[in-house]
Amino acid sequence: MNTPAPGSPYAHPPMPSPYPPAPMEMPGGVRTARVCLWVLGGLSTLGGLIFSAVAAFAERGDSEFSVAELGGIAVLSLILGVVSLVLAAKFRTGGNGVRVGALVVSGVVLLNALISLASGAVAGGPGIALGALVLVNCLKRDGVSWFKRMRV
C-alpha cells in the first residue's frame, strides 16, 4: 500500500486528539523535592515557633540577642515555613511558577545554611542538604518538563 510520506503535499493534515492528554506521573526527583519542601516547611515553622518563645523569654536578659532580633528571625522563619508548605502542596497541580518559587525558597535556605555554617554554627547541615536537593531536582530536565506540562 502506498501511503504518502509525512510532510508531503499529499499527506493528511494532523488531526487534534478528541481526548485530553493522559496525565503524567510525577517524576521521582520532583517527588523528592516535594518531600524536602515538606520537611523544610515543618522545620522552619517549628524553628519560628521556638524563636518566638525564646524572644518572649529574652526580655529577662537571658539571651545574647535582642528581642527585636529574635522576633525578626521568628517572623522570617515562619514566613519561609509557610511558603515552603504551600509550594509543596501545589507541586501536583502547579505550573512553572511553583517551580520558580521552590527554587527561590531552596536558594534562600541554602544561602542561610551556608552563612550560618561559615559563622561557626553546626546546625546548617540539614538546610544545605534539603536546599540542594530541591534546587537540583527542580532544575533537572524531568522536573522542568513536569512543571511545564500541559494541564487539563
The number of C-alpha atoms within 13 Å of 21 and in the hemisphere containing its C-beta is 8
pTM beyond 0.85, yes or no: no
Residue 20 and residue 151: Cα distance in Å, rounded? Answer: 9
Residues of the chain with pLDDT under 70: 1-13, 15, 17-23, 59-63, 152
The values of phi and psi at residue 12, to 5°, are -75, 145
Q: What is the pLDDT of residues 54-89, one digit of tens each?
A: 888 776 666 677 888 888 989 999 999 999 999 999
CA distance 106 to 7: 45
Among candidate residues 151, 144, 114, 145, the one with its CA nearest the CA of residue 129: 114
